[in-house]
């Protein structure tokens, strides 16, 4: 079932509740610059096993509305809260990839994990995507500034370049075109504004607020959210479980999709 959920006047978020009669609901939050179709190869398997898979296009991306504001982590967390409340979700597994992993952490801190019983972070952009004086990991600030510049100058080429560093395992040319097309569905301004948020958003304190079982999955070849970010998440989130993907980059859910799906179902709970 497909919904448009109003999160504030004039802004609607698109949600695809793929198997609403299923059990053990999982809310999939996609990373920049794609949309909920990024998890196609999770949906395909999990719905056959009876799980309820809910894909959400974050504001500015996919089929969601594309205002010129609201691309900070707080507002993104507010959007999640509206979706969870509108669908009356409880005992939910919240899964966030990349930037959405960072937003998921902010949601847990900002709303006390309302409706969420388990958290999954995969290649998450936390506690900081960029290097800082107290955090010598992640991307350099100038790398992000270059992404923003390229977005404004030639967004299709920027997306193509990003796709080339996204996966560690070889992908076919048709698959590359498909992945590239997901980014084109976003608004150009949303693509740039989320990139701007990487420069100032941090989650060091937010991670301390998480008090639900948390699974962290990270590829050692990740060129976007470097592997030490996953290590830092594991250290910063009390009681978290950390699984390394030896043959994956940023797109670990496709690089090693069988392992990813298996670990996800094991963590959520076998049916």
Cβ–Cβ under 8 Å, residues 6 and 12: yes
Q: Is 248 a catalytic residue?
A: no
Catalytic residue among 97, 222, 240, 248: 222
Catalytic residue among 64, 98, 195, 240: 98
pLDDT of residue 125: 98
pLDDT of residue 181: 98
For 74, phi then psi, to 5°, come to -60, -45
Q: Is the pTM of this model over 0.85?
A: yes
Q: Where are the domains of the chain?
A: 2-268
Q: What is the largest CA-CA distance in the chain?
A: 48
pLDDT of residue 91: 96
pLDDT of residue 161: 97
Q: Is 154 a catalytic residue?
A: no
Q: What share of the chain is helix, strand, coil (3-state, %, to 5)?
A: 45, 20, 35
Reported as a single tens digit per residue, the pLDDT across 65-120 is 999 999 999 999 999 999 999 999 999 999 999 999 999 999 999 999 999 999 99
State the architecture of 2-268 in CATH terms.
Answer: 3-Layer(aba) Sandwich (3.40)
Mean pLDDT of the chain: 97
Q: How far apart are CA 196 and CA 266, in angstroms?
A: 36
Pick from 52, 43, 45: nearest CA to 25 = 52
pLDDT of residue 118: 98
For 140, phi then psi, to 5°, come to -80, 150
Q: How far apart are CA 26 and CA 23, in angstroms?
A: 9
Reported as a single tens digit per residue, the pLDDT across 216-263 is 999 999 999 999 999 999 999 999 999 999 999 999 999 999 999 999
Pick from 214, 269, 266: nearest CA to 239 = 214
Cβ–Cβ under 8 Å, residues 24 and 30: no
| DSSP structure class, residue 47 | G
Q: Is 98 a catalytic residue?
A: yes
Which pair of tokens denotes residue 200? Answer: 């100032």
């Amino acid at each position: 079932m497909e919904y448009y959920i109003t999160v504030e006047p004039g802004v609607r978020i698109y949600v695809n509740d793929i198997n609403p009669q299923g059990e053990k609901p999982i809310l999939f939050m996609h990373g920049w610059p794609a949309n909920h179709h990024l998890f196609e190869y999770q949906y395909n398997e999990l719905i056959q096993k009876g799980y309820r898979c809910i894909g959400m296009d974050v504001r500015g991306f996919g089929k969601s509305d594309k205002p010129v504001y609201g691309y900070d982590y707080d507002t993104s967390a507010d959007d999640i809260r509206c979706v969870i409340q509108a669908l009356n979700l409880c005992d939910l597994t919240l899964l966030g990839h990349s930037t959405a992993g960072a937003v998921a952490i902010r949601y847990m801190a900002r709303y006390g994990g309302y409706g969420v019983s388990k958290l999954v972070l995969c290649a998450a952009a936390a506690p900081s995507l960029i290097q800082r004086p107290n955090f010598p990991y992640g991307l350099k600030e100038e790398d992000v500034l270059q992404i923003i510049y390229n977005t404004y100058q030639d967004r299709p080429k920027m997306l193509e370049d990003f796709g080339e560093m996204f996966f560690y395992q070889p992908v076919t040319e048709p698959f590359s075109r498909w992945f590239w097309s997901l980014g084109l569905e976003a608004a150009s301004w949303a693509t740039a504004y989320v990139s701007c948020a990487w420069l100032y958003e941090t989650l060091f304190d937010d991670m301390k607020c998480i008090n639900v079982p948390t699974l962290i999955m990270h590829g050692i070849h990740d060129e976007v959210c470097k592997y030490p970010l996953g290590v830092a998440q594991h250290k910063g989130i009390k009681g978290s479980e950390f699984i390394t993907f030896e043959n994956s980059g940023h797109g670990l859910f496709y690089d090693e999709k069988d392992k990813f799906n298996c670990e996800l179902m094991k963590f959520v709970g076998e049916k």
